[in-house]
Amino acid sequence: MCGIIGIYQKNLKLKTASKLAVLGLFAEQHRGQESCGIVYYDGTQLQLIKKMGLVKEVFHEDKLRDMRSHVAIGHVRYPTKGSSDIQNAQPHVLNNLSGAQYALASNGDLVNYKELRSDLKKKNVLFESGNDGELILKYIVYKHEKDGLSIIDSIKSVMKSFKGSFSTVLLVKDEFYAFRDPHGNRPFIFGEIDDETYVFASESCCIDIMKASFVKEVAPAEILHISNDGLTSYKLNPNEYRTQDKTAHCVFELIYFSRPDSVVYEHSVYSFRESLGKQLAKEETIIPDIVVPVPDSSNFIALGYAREMNVEFSLALIRNHYVGRTFIAPEQTIRDENVVQKFNPLPGYLEGKVVTLIDDSIVRGTTLQKIVKIVRSHGAKEVHVRIGSPMVKYPCFYGIDTPTYEELIANQKKVEDIAKYLKADSLRYLEVEELKNLVKDKKNFCFACFDGNYPICLKE
Ligand code: SF4
């Protein structure tokens, strides 16, 4: 999971694309906190700024004033492929000796990355990173410059050859392209500001803060090209490019990744999360004194649960927002330290209470185990854990950092053994079928981490 942004201003006099791109990245910060960057066109050439760290640390108001441009792309990174360093930060830029310039930022993961990369290496293409975005960029440039294909045909070739997930923005000098993988695995929003500025983003919350209106989602296997001549959409038939006759939207975007104020795959994220909680409450036998979310991603699940149960909803655990998201911190040791620094209960509030603790999911279980311990140590009489999604039994190969079966506690243990590991009085998950029945069109979603049915293809 990462976040991308793309801005193209039809009104060339505006030249605020870099500023809007940074604003958009700021709204997408939850999608990746390791590094961030933008590329903008300064009237002559593409300029790159990327660094390790948060958007607010990398971009300052005074710098933005000098970055005047009508076109820009940007990226926030959550590492999946490639190590945690600046080489793997996006966007990637390619400056050719001929003077041609290209830049690309992508969100997703490629299943056949190794095979494609080694094919290109055999053709003497050099790589600086271990990152999917660089591979997509270098593949397109190779097809365009060496095989003589147009940029559109080069992107069509990406659609054909690349298996996995890619919501992508590309600049060829100041010409702009946006394209999405044939399965539509990650969200990709297209909006417009005052009929003057086109905006592309991973989530609708980004276009909201720019006061842009929602136009549509970039369709699976769609390519949008914007230049001085206007906007052209190339809608390819996705079935010619994918392994199964269906899209594969990541359902985890609705459960955890996306911001609650976003609309993703035509679902309001916050109300979807409320519906998870309501569904979970329907089979409930334990009536607690209070329902407490693990903040913030579980807040709306807990709210739905508490409302359905008619029990007090309590924000009894306070989250320190200045510690990174635990699920997406790259190393386990960093995750462990973060948990203790991150959550602190209201003093005296939990004393003697039967608590139902709500979390959105259990991946490794280490974070939740520590949270249960914190809640107990502050006097809770009983701690019951309820999870607003099914058991995560299978790894994701399309952009999420759960690389091995062994790391997933639900792949290794039964529910009752997980409850013992967590030291919870009881534990219950949502069932897979219950989750499937809550999305609008279940055949067009990916549920692979819950049911093991991989809709794109398996790891190479
Ligand atoms: S395997 Fe899970 S996390 Fe990965 S794309 Fe599918 S639903 Fe999303």
pLDDT for 305-363, tens place per residue? Answer: 999 999 999 999 999 887 755 445 555 555 555 677 789 999 999 999 999 999 999 99
Instruction: Name which of 167, 56, 17, 49 is nearest 105 in CA terms.
Output: 167
Do 215 and 330 lie in one domain? The reply is: no
Do 189 and 317 lie in one domain? The reply is: no
pLDDT confidence of residue 98: 82
Report yes or no on 61 lying in a domain.
Answer: yes
Do 212 and 279 lie in one domain? The reply is: no
Report yes or no on 397 lying in a domain.
Answer: yes
Do 218 and 296 lie in one domain? The reply is: no
- Distance of CA 430 from the midpoint of ligand 1 (Å): 16
Do 155 and 265 lie in one domain? The reply is: no
* Cβ(447) – ligand 1 distance below 6 Å: yes
Question: Where among 200, 223, 247 does a domain terminate?
Answer: 247
Lowest pLDDT segment from 67-71, 239-243, 251-255, 404-408: 239-243
Do 186 and 310 lie in one domain? The reply is: no
Q: Which atom of ligand 1 is nearest to the CA of 445?
A: 7
Mean of pLDDT values over 135-158: 97
How much is the mean pLDDT over the chain?
A: 92
Mean of pLDDT values over 120-140: 96
Do 230 and 274 lie in one domain? The reply is: no
Q: pLDDT band at residue 457, thresholds of 50, 70 and 90? A: low
- Distance of CA 396 from the midpoint of ligand 1 (Å): 5
Q: Which tens digit of pLDDT belongs to each residue from 193-218?
A: 999 999 999 999 999 999 999 999 99
Lowest pLDDT segment from 14-18, 237-241, 392-396, 437-441: 237-241
Report yes or no on 456 lying in a domain.
Answer: no
Q: Which tens digit of pLDDT belongs to each residue from 38-70?
A: 999 999 999 999 999 999 999 988 888 889 999
User: What residue numbers bound the domain in which 298 lies?
Assistant: 254-451
Q: Which tens digit of pLDDT belongs to each residue from 170-197?
A: 999 999 999 999 999 999 999 999 999 9
Do 239 and 155 lie in one domain? The reply is: yes
Beta pairing partners, 171: 103, 176
Atom 5 of ligand 1, nearest CA residue: 250
Give the CATH number, domain containing residue 411: 3.40.50.2020
pLDDT confidence of residue 321: 81
pLDDT confidence of residue 329: 53
* Cβ(25) – ligand 1 distance below 6 Å: no
Do 317 and 345 lie in one domain? The reply is: yes
Q: Which tens digit of pLDDT belongs to each residue from 257-309?
A: 999 999 999 999 999 999 999 999 998 999 999 999 999 999 999 999 999 99
- Distance of CA 201 from the midpoint of ligand 1 (Å): 20
Q: Report d(CA 416, CA 428) in Å as an integer.
A: 9
Do 208 and 274 lie in one domain? The reply is: no
Mutation test residue for ligand 1: of 360, 449, 454, 456, the one with most atoms within 8 Å of CB: 449
In the chain, % of residues over pLDDT 90: 83
Question: Where among 247, 263, 298 does a domain terminate?
Answer: 247
Q: pLDDT band at residue 460, thresholds of 50, 70 and 90? A: very low
- Distance of CA 448 from the midpoint of ligand 1 (Å): 6
- Distance of CA 346 from the midpoint of ligand 1 (Å): 35
Mutation test residue for ligand 1: of 396, 404, 444, the one with most atoms within 8 Å of CB: 396
Residue 2 known to be catalytic: yes
In terms of pLDDT, which residue wins out, 340 or 220? 220
Mean of pLDDT values over 137-161: 97
Mean of pLDDT values over 367-371: 95
Structural domain total, the chain? 2
Report yes or no on 458 lying in a domain.
Answer: no
* Cβ(59) – ligand 1 distance below 6 Å: no
* Cβ(449) – ligand 1 distance below 6 Å: yes
Report yes or no on 78 lying in a domain.
Answer: yes
Report yes or no on 149 lying in a domain.
Answer: yes
Q: Is the pLDDT of residue 458 over 70?
A: no
Do 92 and 194 lie in one domain? The reply is: yes
Question: Where among 231, 247, 263 does a domain terminate?
Answer: 247
Report yes or no on 191 lying in a domain.
Answer: yes
Lowest pLDDT segment from 240-254, 412-426, 446-460: 446-460
Do 46 and 116 lie in one domain? The reply is: yes
Beta pairing partners, 93: 103
* Cβ(257) – ligand 1 distance below 6 Å: no
Q: Which residues contact 194 (CB under 8 A, 6 or more apart)?
A: none
Give the CATH number, domain containing residue 147: 3.60.20.10
